[in-house]
Amino acid sequence: MTFKKKIICTLIGSLVLVSTVVAQDEHPRLFLNRTDVAAMRAAIGKYPLFDVSLRLVKPKIDKALAGPIDVPIPKDAGGYTHERHKQNYTEMQLAGVFYSITGEARYADFVRSMLLKYADLYPTLGRHPAAAGEAAGRLFWQTLNETVWLVHATQAYDCVYDRLSAADRAIIESKVIRPMAVFLSEERVHEMDRIHNHGTWSCAAVGMAGYVMNDKNLVEKALYGSKKDRSGGFLRQIDLLFSPDGFYTEGLYYVRYALLPFYTFAQVIENNQPELKIFEYRDQILKKALTSALQLTYTNGAFIPINDALKEKTYLSPEIIVALDIAFSRSGQDVNLLPVAVRHNEVMLSGAGVDVAKAIAGKKAPKDYPYKSVEYTDGAQGKDGGIGVLRYGPSEDQSMMIMKYTGHGLSHGHYDKLGILYYDQGREILQDYGSARFINVEPKYGGRYLPENKSFAMQTIAHNTVTVDGTSHFSGDVRIAERNHADRHFYEARDDHFQVMSARVTTAYEGVSMQRTVAMVRDNLFEKPIVIDVFKIVSDKPHTYDFPYYYLGQLTSTSVKYRSFDRQLSLLGTQNGYQHLWKEAEGNASGAVQVSWLAGERYYSITSAADTSTQVFFVRIGGSDPNFNLRHEPAFILRQEASSHVFASVLEPHGAWDGTKEFSEHAGSSIRSVHVAATNGDATAVEISGVDGWKCMLLISNGDGSESAGHTLVVAGREYTWKGNAQFIKQ
Amino acid sequence: MTFKKKIICTLIGSLVLVSTVVAQDEHPRLFLNRTDVAAMRAAIGKYPLFDVSLRLVKPKIDKALAGPIDVPIPKDAGGYTHERHKQNYTEMQLAGVFYSITGEARYADFVRSMLLKYADLYPTLGRHPAAAGEAAGRLFWQTLNETVWLVHATQAYDCVYDRLSAADRAIIESKVIRPMAVFLSEERVHEMDRIHNHGTWSCAAVGMAGYVMNDKNLVEKALYGSKKDRSGGFLRQIDLLFSPDGFYTEGLYYVRYALLPFYTFAQVIENNQPELKIFEYRDQILKKALTSALQLTYTNGAFIPINDALKEKTYLSPEIIVALDIAFSRSGQDVNLLPVAVRHNEVMLSGAGVDVAKAIAGKKAPKDYPYKSVEYTDGAQGKDGGIGVLRYGPSEDQSMMIMKYTGHGLSHGHYDKLGILYYDQGREILQDYGSARFINVEPKYGGRYLPENKSFAMQTIAHNTVTVDGTSHFSGDVRIAERNHADRHFYEARDDHFQVMSARVTTAYEGVSMQRTVAMVRDNLFEKPIVIDVFKIVSDKPHTYDFPYYYLGQLTSTSVKYRSFDRQLSLLGTQNGYQHLWKEAEGNASGAVQVSWLAGERYYSITSAADTSTQVFFVRIGGSDPNFNLRHEPAFILRQEASSHVFASVLEPHGAWDGTKEFSEHAGSSIRSVHVAATNGDATAVEISGVDGWKCMLLISNGDGSESAGHTLVVAGREYTWKGNAQFIKQ
């Protein structure tokens, strides 16, 4: 008998034994209900992906059952006790699910024993010994992990509820579930009422405790805030944390995390108060939140790492499995979600997971996730700027350009208004550093955010945008940054041969307004789509403008005559992130600056308008890093002393390199120079000249962003007239 | 009709039309003969891999036929004219093959036109304008490329020979094939007679010109050297360039390249002088050469990058396709070669290719290439040291440790006697830098070896071995290095739980003898096999010993209290490669030195015996690099001032990290300390202590390498007695 058949038979065997034992009670009803249980039992042996998912977790939970239960006294913030309590809640919840499916007593007994051990431990705990700050937990160093524990533990409790004695229930509820819910909703009420993913987790935890214990008071606090006046609570979180089209203000790394409590608690609400129609709420905002999260991944599944973000994080993360399965099941069985589920190669153990497995078994999944060029607004009203994505090409080899013109994004926000990121060949080409953190790696600062996260990764100079006078946007002050945002100017992606977006920020620096326009142009002049990047700065006072491109790859050539500091390196500056950049070389431009590099199997060149007043620095991340926390990656920075100035660059992918076949072609850019031909309050013209003698021009409106407005600009004596926001002209 | 069927039908259609046209002449007979042609015709539509291979190249050759033929005047060493002449010879040879298969005139006409253009051009050429040094070519900057051209062009000429008029043949032979063969065998005779891969190419080129033109004189020079006295020539190359077990003295990157002329010319010889029994020559040495090359790849197919080597190079390179297919066909149809052919997903267009495609169609390929722990000797007699490989685990997750104790390896040799490389998780963990070169990337020094290749990549300090007094082995002088080699001491890999190898070099430095012993130990004390690395140095004068580990990954922790130069970086030294290392931090040990890092999804720790006299440097490659030619990767260096000294370290892989699941475990080593418990002329004992209190010991013979010799060593008052070269004892 194959392993597969064996497991399935074992599971079916258990069902036969147990089906009469399941009591006609109201549990499970929290996250799973009896419909889920029936669906899962029926799915076994029928939908391969469901069987795969069962087989994936069964050894884990069986291994857990075979070992001793350890509920250690909390000690560390990323070491054994931390990891063990995380392991415990995962195993408890899984055991609960397996009890529901199989009815086997051993799973329920495991949950019971563990919950009783927590009931022993929890009342003895004070503030966690490794806690720091206001959000200190008891079981974990921060309440966040504690809420996650409760979200899992309540599910486990619900699943085995029928099997527990009234005495056991009383102990478990009175000594751990209720005290923890009270702790979270009273002592840590500032966390629960906070409009933030920690708040969402807190609401979910408190609410699930409420539902499972039939405590209406806790449920109402969870739904409507501690004062029950809708000034906080889960619905308020949904109202404020997403824009009308589903963008989550903290960005993708955290929406991925937040989707778990949002979807988990939504399913709990749907099971217990279907009259709230939670999945319809705010015009299906939860579905939109998932869709925007997926649209803001690159073709390799990696979330766009704006703000604090781990770059390893992809849509394969477990939270997305939960959110996607529930969204598929509860919001219209959208088959466009299925390509991602196919890559998951796993579904959750629930009725929703069964629905996905069934659809995939029915061959309903398209080949690729339908990525598109798209813009999302930010802010609860959709009025706090947004984020624009331009894409060209199929999933196998897609160019993608992102511009960030959102609000700040709460405590994990970075100071990078109008920052860009560029991907190609399935990899990052112009990178956002992401966060400086080795998550859960105990020797790296307990696995928490490293000091360099604040001192470098958050700072403006760490991003592909302009730093003024060596100071980060909003003086690097989160309070100021939170009160401001960038603004969309225009976004047009109907014509995939000329996609363009433009945004502005006037509040990042006093007396300095900035407008960035990024166009992705597919034209037969070039092998691949090029990106034209025009960053216009207006000020009536002189400033120093620093404009980096964090390219990934090996520099192959540059037009800049530079002085190399190849015998001794010093730092680019002393603060605001500059202290983390080694100055490898510097030079002055004499005409356009061109930098070419090799990344993967393709060459890239950036050609930027410049003159002798343009300083160029070649830098590398890694300075002021005594603990080896940073990645040593390069950038070049254009520096301009000016009052008003326009940075204009073209990024061209070109040629090919193959190390196995030892093949190289077109290592040089086809672009000779870029220059700002004209600019005024109404419009800007950027002219691009090719090495073969061709010329082309990008015309941009600096005006009101109307598609019907006419513009006129005189460039080198010739008058250009056009209608709309931007135009690309070949001459 | 599918594209596949269409091509097959077109090809079969051509056959029907042409089969009566093929003349009963003696051509083709050079590389392909009429048996090959018949086999290929019969294979179409029958063996999928052969069809795939046809379909892969057909569009290329048809595209070539559709375009203009360009035979430009030679100009550059890696730019358009260089690449175009390379493209031409490839296309010519392919067109010849396609003419043989299909008999379609257009393929022959293409070859004819191109050869006639070369016949026009070649007589006008003098020394190549971008040539440097003695090996200057005419068509290419170096004769090497020119020989490759001739190897291809003679095949093309042979394939279309029957279709050419006598006048065309006379022009082609007299104006390009013969003059080039004469140029190579007379003006560049020092290259042809050189025992080196360039010489092999030259012999193949001259010999193939000889066979195709029926010129016995050229053939004899090619086989037996310019003096026809066996002091040079192809057979001498075979005699001297391989050790008796097939190791090629230059290393893997170049054997991969050399296998092409060896196998190509061998097949030509077999077709024309089968009485030479070339594939049986020297006990099937060509087959052994291929096998050793494959055994010296890691599980990802990458060749071990000792000496000058591009790390991108894998067994997927086209040269290996040719060698493997011929070896399979002509040396006993060894099915162990087939897993590699499956990964090629391509066979050569020849009878040998058909044989491989047929075997794969017959499901004869095992799943994985049968990697094993193996030692190869170096030197024509197998007496110039060797290279040892220890492996543990299946191809999916294999630990591999290499020690290099070969001869120097000619002009591409590096000064790294007793250097080690370590791989795990499908990736490099302790790296050899490889060569400093961006092959064929014109803006990078014309695609040639960069100056940093000699100044850094070749130097001892760039490798995981000991540098004495800041000077490379053999004073970095190739003439001295070529006269010396390291020596094997012992190699034992019968027990996969305790594999050990030991080698010595006494000539790298005057008055300093070195012995390195590396053991791979699989024991239930550890999650994965550990490596124990014992480097014993004996001298009667004081020296400075620098011992680096070039780890790849992010440092997570170290036991060393160091001073960080995080505000200003300077170079570790001024010469012999030290000038390319930035000194990021330095400190003194106080007890064992431990350095841990994260690479991929696993942690690694090196724990080294040390005391307060041990200095530790944390360095990074990239100093003295004004042209951005180097990769900025880290190392740490143990420095010891001593006369005699033993460096003893343990490398332990441990734990797991998953960025998608945000999971980390066992980030810390299970080893507390390592110390050299005793050492004398006869034996060394290294004791390892665990954080959990366990102890174990490695006992090593420093004596005569006999497996039966007994050894006795007193360690801390206790006498240890054992028989054989090494023993691992748990206490």
**B555 forms bridges with which residues in the sheet?**
B597
Whether A242-368 and A1-228 are alike in CATH topology: the answer is yes
pLDDT single digits (tens) B215-252: 999 999 999 999 999 999 999 999 999 999 999 999 99
* A567 has pLDDT over 80: yes
**Contact B644/A at CB under 8 A:** no
Q: What is the CATH number of domain B374-730?
A: 2.70.98.70
DSSP state of B454: I
Which residue in this structure is represented by tokens 């307004």? Answer: A513
Q: Is the pLDDT at B7 greater than 90, yes or no?
A: no
Indicate the domain borders of chain B: 1-132+139-176, 374-730
Determine the 3-state secondary structure of A233 from DSSP. coil
**Touching check for A318 and chain B: CB below 8 Å?**
yes
Long-range CB pairs of A10-14 (<8 Å, 24+ gap) are: A11/A44, A11/A54, A11/A101, A11/A102, A12/A44, A12/A45, A14/A102, A14/A103, A14/A104
Query: How much is the pLDDT for A692?
Result: 94
3-state secondary structure of B486: coil
State the average pLDDT for chain B.
95
Please answer whether residues A480 and A472 qualify as being in contact, where contact means their C-beta atoms are separated by less than 8 angstroms: no
Q: What is the pLDDT of residues A133-152, one digit of tens each?
A: 889 999 999 999 999 999 99
Instruction: Provide the whole-model pTM.
Output: 0.93
Answer yes or no: is pLDDT of A608 > 50: yes
Count how many residues are written for chain B: 731
3-state secondary structure of A22: coil
Place of tokens 């996969």: B496
Give residues with Cβ within 8 angstroms of A85, minimum separation 6.
A71, A72, A74, A139, A140, A145, A149
Tell me, what's the ipTM? 0.91
Cα angle for residues B293, B295, B298 (degrees, 5° grid): 105
B254 is catalytic: yes
Among the partner residues B78, B317, B582, nearest to A661 by beta-carbon distance: B317
pLDDT digit string (tens) for B180-192? 999 999 999 999 9
- Where residue A6 falls among pLDDT bands split at 50, 70, 90? low
Q: What is the mean pLDDT of residues A145-169?
A: 97
Cβ distance of A440 and B582 shorter than 8 Å = no
Task: Give the model's pLDDT for residue A132.
Answer: 83
**Token pair listed for A285:** 């905002």
Nearest CA in chain B to A311: B659
A296-319 pLDDT, tens digit each? 999 999 999 999 999 999 999 999
A574/B contact by beta carbon, under 8 A: no
Q: How confident is the model at residue A703 (pLDDT cuts 50, 70, 90)?
A: confident
- Token reading at A534: 């025009």
pLDDT at B704: 77
At A78, the pLDDT band (50, 70, 90 cuts) reads confident
Between CA B356 and CA B348 the distance in angstroms is: 9
Q: Does position B717 have pLDDT exceeding 70, yes or no?
A: yes
Which of B107, B211, B254, B298 is flagged as catalytic?
Answer: B254
Average pLDDT over residues A113-136: 95
Amino acid A707: pLDDT: 81
B75-84, B291-300, B555-564, range with the lowest pLDDT: B75-84
**pLDDT higher than threshold 70 for residue B4:** no
The overall longest dimension of chain B from CA atoms, in Å, is 91
Of the listed ranges A45-59, A477-491, A692-706, B152-166, the least confidently predicted one is A692-706
At A219, is the secondary structure helix, strand, or coil?
helix
| CATH architecture classification, A242-368 | Alpha/alpha barrel (1.50)
Q: Kindly state the DSSP code that residue A190 receives in the 8-state scheme.
A: H
Q: Residue B35: is its pLDDT beyond 80? A: yes
pLDDT at B19: 34
Cβ contacts of A155 within 8 Å, gap of 6 or more: A30, A31, A32, A93, A96, A97, A208
The answer, yes or no, to whether residue A25 has pLDDT greater than 60, is no
The answer, yes or no, to whether residue B588 has pLDDT greater than 60, is: yes
Residue type, B467: T
Best CATH choice for the domain B1-132+139-176 from the list 3.40.50.1980, 1.10.357.10, 1.10.533.10, 1.50.10.100: 1.50.10.100
Torsion of CA B360, B365, B367, B370, to 10 degrees: -140
Scan residues 529-558 of A and list those with Cβ closer than 8 Å to B. Answer: 554-557
Residues of A in contact with B447 (CB under 8 A): 664
Query: What mean pLDDT is predicted for residues A89-114?
Result: 97
Give the whole-angstrom CA distance, residue B91 versus residue B68.
12
* Cβ-defined contact of A554 to B631 (cutoff 8 Å): yes
d(CA B467, CA B415) in angstroms, rounded, equals 10
Instruction: Please state, in angstroms and rounded to a whole number, the distance separating the CA atoms of residues A522 and A531.
Output: 9
Tell me: pLDDT of A391 over 70.
Answer: yes
Q: What separation in angstroms does the CA of A691 have from each of A525, A598, A694, A695?
A: 11, 20, 7, 9
Q: What angle do CA A41, A46, A47 make, to 5 degrees?
A: 100
Partner B, chain A 447-486, Cβ-Cβ below 8 Å:
447
Q: A1-228: which CATH topology?
A: Glycosyltransferase (1.50.10)
Amino acid, single-letter form, for residue B702: N
**What H or E segment, with its residue span, contains residue A532?**
strand A530-539
- Indicate which residue of B128, B412, B414, B580 is catalytic: B412
pLDDT of residue B21: 31
Q: A491 an active-site residue?
A: no
Q: A387-391 — which CB contacts under 8 Å span 24+ positions?
A: A387/A247, A387/A296, A387/A306, A388/A488, A388/A491, A388/A501, A388/A503, A388/A518, A389/A295, A389/A296, A390/A493, A390/A499, A390/A500, A390/A501, A390/A518, A390/A520
pLDDT value of residue B694: 97
| pLDDT of amino acid B25 | 53
B313 contacts A626? CB cut-off 8 A = no
Q: Which tens digit of pLDDT belongs to each residue from A451-465?
A: 999 999 999 999 999
CA distance A32 to chain B (A): 23
Helix (H, G, I), strand (E, B) or coil at A314: strand
Q: Is pLDDT at B415 greater than 50 in this prediction?
A: yes
Catalytic residue among A161, A254, A509, A604: A254
